[in-house]
Structure 1
């Protein structure tokens, strides 16, 4: 039964069910949530494969490094307001994104 599958395999099954109808667009809502760092790469590769096959992927996620490994464009929101949109690396360097999510004393590239 599907309930006995590992979390990563359940997420793969969810994706397979969604893809059964050959969609042109797929919405992913925090699909990486609950996965370990070791489990993320296979999921990232699967999503990258979807994107490369021509499926438009709209992915809502808090695990930012998973997003930046796949997406061509990143939108960062805070309380429903768009903080930045564009190239993932540029969005992550946006002063407003840094201020809201990391605080004003954070310096990109420095460990605290």
Structure 2
């Protein structure tokens, strides 16, 4: 089963420090060595939003002021169960501290 893990941030989220980079690097290396981690990366907070209505397609530049949180990072993982992805997400949250993550199974 593949899952997309999203890390969300808001204006109160602290900037990463050297400790975070070191711990996250070790975590990423471990998941890569086990073949669990398929892709990971940071996401630019602004981005683009595309909406469609009938034949009309509109593109809007971010950041989006109405958004309270934005996705700032992701990991695509392949695991055997939902329990396994929940444990990975718990380990991630312990490394990065307070905040919100979303977990979505890839269909």
**TM band (smaller chain):** under 0.3
Query: What's the TM-score once normalised by structure 2's chain length?
Result: 0.27
Q: Which has the higher helix share?
A: 1
Q: Which has the higher strand share?
A: 2
Greater RCO (CA < 8 Å, at least 6 residues apart): 2
